[in-house]
Structure 1
């Protein structure tokens, strides 16, 4: 792995599977009475969120603290940016404080990559989500959640690396909703295809890139791109799915005229009671959160699927901490202090 985590495409299949396998170890750490290891003791992680977030920020900060790192939390609204300081000056100021890693989230695509060019050689930059571009740790947590749902750890062996290699081979995954504006969609596509899944993108033409086939072929490896299909008709693929990955329907898209209305969107792309009952018996549903109940998924349907263990949203959140522990450990850790005898 490189010194940064900016996109999953830069990791490739080997890097993705390495991080997912390492995540197993940190899932076990999270199950301990004291869920903490000294792997990053003496290291400092700064979270620079120029765009608001609850799940991603808390997951990164929890992960860093469980690794015994010191955490600096940057708030754009109360920083010198409000006084006219440039982004570069802010980054270089924080770099000068001697941090070891920066987690950067920004509404503009490419900002984490630019930050990586500004910081010193000893600082790792992790992309916490940038514009419509990428959200690599979300893609990792979603892939890990699906892998461990379909290939669970052996009972009675917490913390033991299972004999299976991370894979989604043979699984059929639909990603439904606002594809073109979703950094989650792009990172999920990278992660799932790298692990061998076949993907079908389900969306109206207005929520897909103008030339979706060229878009896919332009950034995915050729063998992975072949496993991605596109349809405007959710009902046509329901019966063949193992996973339904719902994306948040943003109300501003209605203002922009990209979707006609909420009832129209629900009628064509919502996971309604009727559609849920057409799914395969063991098909599961994911969502990056927060869910708009009654839009992406019917409220009663969400409750029913959760009761059956088929709505994986809370597991995605739980695994998100372990995935971010794995990423921080691999980038800035010492490679030691993971054993049960090293607990704080």
Structure 2
């Protein structure tokens, strides 16, 4: 069964997958990472590095098999006009939260699901959207947060675009006895760079070796130029309206202080986009705030909870089967549905 006629205020359809034969099943609202994701959270093979994937189609099917409905919709990154990079009041982080809140309201009123049992399940930036939506909705929150980003936007984005590059280059693997960095060796490390620093032109710019302080200065200059451009509308991934609004948001973990309810957090040990420290901080904040929280750490899985290829390259989907079983069990535990078999070899805390 799908949610015929279920749509957001701008007409975007909310796709509702209900288990066959289920009467008023509980439901999880699935919220996507940053970027132009459709309702199925589809990625082409050249982006995933592991063949074409449909993350939310797979997750929705797993949830349905465990007796839980799943809902999702195209994000505003798919439907909104970027207006030459300026964006609009609709194309903001707050707009994503508006959509999540409205979808929960629709699900709570839908006769095909149990509106008293609705979970927000967010992946990466979707976890931040889920936290903000739960804060606005009030009441008892049920949150499943996968690969969460919990630092404030400017802090996180600077790590993503600058600090992790410096961490990797200066970690010691490429540092010679004289302290210089072997850029030729860094370029040759395809496994280390895969999935986050694909275009590596530093040897052409600085030669086969470079001094650490030169790299710190040059990469900081480049990052600052990117950030200014993003806030002014020259970034191709999101308009200025989004970046400015997102940068103004509080650190996501701080939203937990005003919430009541239950939280499940999942992260992969190989996540090099939102490293496990984010999940640990979120779990710590949840327990400190009196929420019931369970953290599951998945060995060997990356940002979108998929393993590396046989060649050691990072992938972005499809979800690992063990993770699918584990996250489905989390939803079942929180909403009271029969849990799927738990994933093996996942550390919990």
TM-score normalised by structure 2 residue count = 0.36
RCO greater where, 1 or 2, for CA within 8 Å and sep 6 or more?
1
